[in-house]
Amino acid sequence: MKSTLTALFALSLALAANAMPAQTKPKAPAYTPLRPVADCLRTDRINEWHIVDSRTLAVRTGPDRYLVKLQVDCPRLRYGPPTLLFHSNPANQAVIPFSICGEAGETVRALHEPPCAIQSVRKIDQAEFDQLKAHARRSGSGADQPLKP
């Protein structure tokens, strides 16, 4: 009985020691919104978009170019007509309408498909945009964006 208790105690200590480093690792923030908001992707100014893979989009709004990452794989963006519809965070629509900053609640979807949550948005230069564009699986224009936020 005593050896069983000793073994259980040793096992408990070993499990606790292994669990400690996992708890002390800093967690990456769920969202890191693009700031200042003037730098956010304006959905009413999209000229072109490219689906690079099931989690990566490249978007151009005039001279500005963006890399948009999705929270999870979203292969359904490739279905239907070549249309992507971006929707801003409902809480921000009155303050920064037509803006995608990489905040919670922002989505993109293909026409007649369920939305895909956006994880992050960041500005990129023309060289990176052109490289992503060259590997795109699907492309389109921003002409189909809704006129209301």
Domain boundaries, the chain: 37-141
CB 116 within 8 A of CB 76: yes
pLDDT at 132 over 60: yes
Binned at pLDDT 50, 70 and 90, residue 13 comes out as very low
Full-model pTM = 0.77
For the record, the structure tokens of 79 come out as: 């279905």
Specify the pLDDT at position 142: 74
Burial class (CB in 10 A: 0-12, 13-18, 19+), 90: exposed
Sequence-separated (6 or more) residues with CB below 8 Å from residue 135 = 52
| Phi/psi of residue 86, nearest 5 degrees | -95, 135
Specify the pLDDT at position 90: 86
pLDDT at 146 over 90: no
CB 147 within 8 A of CB 97: no
CA distances for 93 relative to 17, 68, 101, 112, angstroms: 47, 19, 12, 22
Q: How does pLDDT run across 30-73, given as a tens digit for each residue?
A: 778 888 989 999 999 999 999 999 999 999 999 999 999 999 99
pLDDT at 16 over 70: no
In angstroms, rounded to a whole number, what is the distance separating the alpha carbons of residues 107 and 100? 9
CB 120 within 8 A of CB 68: yes
